[in-house]
Each structure stands twice: as structure tokens, then as C-alpha cells.
Homo-oligomer: A and B are copies of this chain.
Amino acid sequence: MSTPCKRISYAELRSRFKDGMSILFGGFMAVGTPDGIVRDLLDSGVKDLTIIGNDTATPDSGIGILIANRRVRKVISSHIGTNPETGRQMIAGEIEVELVPQGTLAERIRCGGAGLGGVLTPTGVGTIVEEGKTKLSFDGIEYLVERPIRADMAILKAYRADEKGNLTYQRAARNFNPLMALAADYVVAETDEIVNAGDIDPELVMTPGILVNALILCGEK
């Protein structure tokens, strides 16, 4: 098998940034967010982004810098409290924020990648989260039908990748990354290391390489 290595440069990736695009970003309080790609999104000048991920970190970390620099039109997230700029822009009507329970966000992204039309969850029943949603009852229990989320691009942070794109993540940096790897039209991972195919234990691969379009080596210029 002579698979070419999936490594690309930031310049090659930048050609795929488009105003108005939607981006799934890995990370939980910036742990597991590909900081180099986020920085390059900022430097590229791309704007009106829809960003989807667990939280908006802080104004100067993780995805938060895109919000602080006003490149974001819409946020879909479970928590924005650690980035005062997200709340300020939301209350000022400058950005749209859709708050989604964390487990529901995970399931919606998973559905988007798995060809499922949605899941039935008890989370949010009896709260404002249920507004506008289809509800189904089975055996006396109410569920919300929560619909899939997909995006134009997913930006992931891996720990070790092989040239085929097989990924591992480190400790708590895994979080949403493996789910997002299935749910975008173009998937790019920033990784600390790229090894030869076969150098990652097949049991330890957390994202199969076929899901990953491109790899960027951390710190690559």
C-alpha cells in the first residue's frame, strides 16, 4: 500500500477557509483545541463563522480568540460562561448563541457523523431546551427529538497521527474530537507527531484515518 502521507501546510489549509463557513472544533476549555489552526483562521481574516464546540474557552485561549476578534456570527455550544466576550456580544445582539446541553451536543454531532436522523433524550424535558422541538413519549417517559449537527469543516487536535490519518488523542484532550471526525465535509487534525503507518497500535487508534482529510504538524510554519 503506497498511501501518500496526508500532511499539508497551513497555507494549503488556508485555501479552504471561506467566509460564512461552519466549523466543528474539538476541545474542552481549550484542551483538545488545535490552537495553531485557530490562530491561522484568525490570521486569514475569515469571518461570519458558525462555530460548534463544547465551550468558547476564554477571550485569549482556544476558540475564544475568534470571538474576541469578532470573526464569529453564530456559536453552538454548551457553555460560554468562561468567555465574557461571548456573553457580551450575545446580549448586544452581535452574535447568535445556541446553548445545547453537553451530552445532547455530543449526541447531535455523533448523529451528524453516523447517518442518524436524531436521538431521543430525556435531557431538557421540562426546560426551555424543549422549545420548538418534537417530543415523543414511550412508556410514560417524555423525550426530546434532538437533530444532527454537521459542519463544513472539523478542526481537531490529535496527539499522535500516522501518515494515513489514524489519530490518537491524549488524556482529557480527546473529548469531542473523535465525534467531530465523522461529522464534517472536510476534517483536518493538528497533531504533535506524525509517524509511519503501522506505528500506532491498531487497538489504540481513536479516529480511523479514512475519516481524516489532512494532517498539520504542530508548530509547522
Nearest CB in chain B: distance from A116 CB, A: 5
Nearest CB in chain B: distance from A77 CB, A: 21
Copy total for this chain:
2
Nearest CB in chain B: distance from A29 CB, A: 20
Interface SS of A by simple majority: mixed
Nearest CB in chain B: distance from A123 CB, A: 8
Asked whether, in the complex, the Cβ of B116 is within 8 Å of the Cβ of A170, the reply is: no
Nearest CB in chain B: distance from A150 CB, A: 12
- Which of A133-141, A190-198, A208-216 contacts its partner? A133-141
A47 is an interface residue with CB less than 8 A from chain B: no
Known A134-B136, A204-B204; contact A143-B120, beta-carbon cutoff 8 A: no
Known A204-B203, A204-B204; contact A145-B120, beta-carbon cutoff 8 A: yes
